[in-house]
Structure 1
Amino acid sequence: MAKEDKIVFCTGGGCTAKLGAGVLSHILEKLPRGEKDPDLLVGYDSRDDAAVYRITDDIALVQTVDFFPPMVDDPYTFGQIAAANALSDVYAMGGEVKTALNLVCFPESMDLNILGEILRGGAEKVAEAGGILAGGHSIADTGVKYGLSVTGLVDPRRLTANDTGKPGDKLILTKALGVGLICTANRVGEAAPGAMDAAVASMTTLNRSAAEISRSYDVHAATDVTGFSFLGHLHEMMGGRLSCRIDGSAVPVLPGAWQAADDCLYTAAGQRNRNHTGPFVRFENVPFAMQEILFDPQTSGGLMLAVAPEEAESLRDELQKAGLPAQIVGEITEKRDAEIVVSYPE
């Protein structure tokens, strides 16, 4: 591929391109609700990962959509990441992927071979997920954007919404944090050696195996950690009725992320996350670099699982045996004055 044909790196690529949580909440609050349908098990009221609609007592549809500009130069890799990110919402709800539709924005003046590589990467991830790519929609645009609309199925009795955790539940994170910081460092040529390779490996890993393993355990709630950051999605999990304590030293971090944070290679999205979620967080002895990692927007991040305390270690061990960097990172408590307390050893 000629140099001039490469995708131009977008400073707002991946999940850093999301609207901020505060702005989005303000918009959603103004939408007309309409009559409540008892079969709509999950809508946007809980700020959950996907919508869930019950068809029968045993079957519910899981519907989600996600797309964004590129955060890597290689179109095939971008397609893989964008697809893995979109598919993740079905896994976060406890579902299985069934079908996917491509969503494409692409400049007419750009080499169509680039688009072909993006779609090839996405199609391979849909197939890896066990789903069927059933069509899509494309429009001409001034920049490249790609993602999927995904439909899955879930047993309504096994649904894992994001805000149904219980006091005492242990919190398990299945992927390491820091992809936003690393992608920013890479864009300006300051990424640590090997850091971008590790970030890409993480972003292209489906959450399928983590979801499948967790189905054998007493998981009360789940979400995937994406653009609103570890702390932002944790805030959504607390749902205004719970609190939690996080051991900052237990949170898995990608190599190079700490250095990027120390070098002040922050994203605007990370600062929006801090502004929105910061008032709900109390840090105790947490280095500023680690704070930035916890506010860092993730693209195709891992699952955060609220699991019964007696099963947490077994679930963590099984996830690690599957090759995932999963760790127990904290515990849900009854509601306290500070919603999220993050501590760090002296």
Structure 2
Amino acid sequence: MALDTQEPNRAVLVLSLGGTIAMTTPSGEAGGVTPRLTAADLVAAVPGLKGEATLEVEDFRQMPGAWLTVDDIAALADRLNKQAATGTAGFVITQGTDTLEETAFLLDLLYRGDAPVVLTGAMRNPEMAGADGPANLLSAIRTAASPAFRNLGILVVFADEIHAARHVRKIHSTSTSAFSSPGAGPIGHVIEGRPRPHFSLPRRPTVALPFTRQARVEVIHTTLGSDGILLQGLDERLDGLVIAAFGAGHVPATWVERLEELAARIPVVLTSRTGAGSVLSSTYAFRGSESDLLARGLINGGSLDPYKARLLLLAHLSTGADLTVITNAFEIRR
């Protein structure tokens, strides 16, 4: 569905996946909100759009962010790759914030085009005072239409901040400033309606679609005094595992032998549960330290948080990649 605006050379496709930004209560009913608004509804609620771009709208999914799957995002990436080849200037994706940081990173692994792809959403639904969806959507459209943000991969625009998918995290459950990029900061801001880049990041290698197999990868978090019972039998149920370790990549001593056994059977990636910073490689040498675990066959996840590391591992496993390819993929991103 096309919306008649000016400057047809700046064509932006807005795809809606649902989420809080699209949630309302059924007419005449009480209770909580659910995804009901279409992409056209969302665009129609934004003041100041006239002249920004020629907008196309599409309802790709209509569900809470927590319901989205890897297959949904792979299908979306395929849609973006095909549409980017037609010359569309940019893309905006609206979705729930529960999984936005993960869908952004997975799309960054799968999207091959140069046109900006910008994800956004809302923390306050349209029925709440101070709903932030329209402002976020306007800033996202302006960023997607800007040539300055081409070939930067997937971006997240929220509260007038522009974040790179590889760094962005949801850091608050309810705040309208819920997204941040720990250790990096936003790569740009929208100031007086103009998206302004501060710095750029080189694109990383993508993972080729289609996925050829189903793969299961989970995250296990270290906790004080854990005996590692959750590690039992995982090699029979999983294709890969991510460990969200203490600090710079440390686990309880009771985990060590079981992790070594798992790493001999499936890829096991070592990450930090802290939310910022990198797993080390050779600073500590005690049993269960980063150097000990890496020597036992675990893969260094570098500065990727556990959730992004899971998606990188899952994407490669889904294409049938072997251990060498997977290890190199993490080495590139360190």
User: Larger Cα Rg: Structure 1 or Structure 2?
Assistant: 2
Query: More relative contact order in 1 or in 2 (CA 8 Å, sep 6+)?
Result: 1
* TM-score normalised by length of structure 1: 0.29
TM-score normalised over the length of structure 2: 0.29
The structure with the greater share of residues assigned to helix is 1
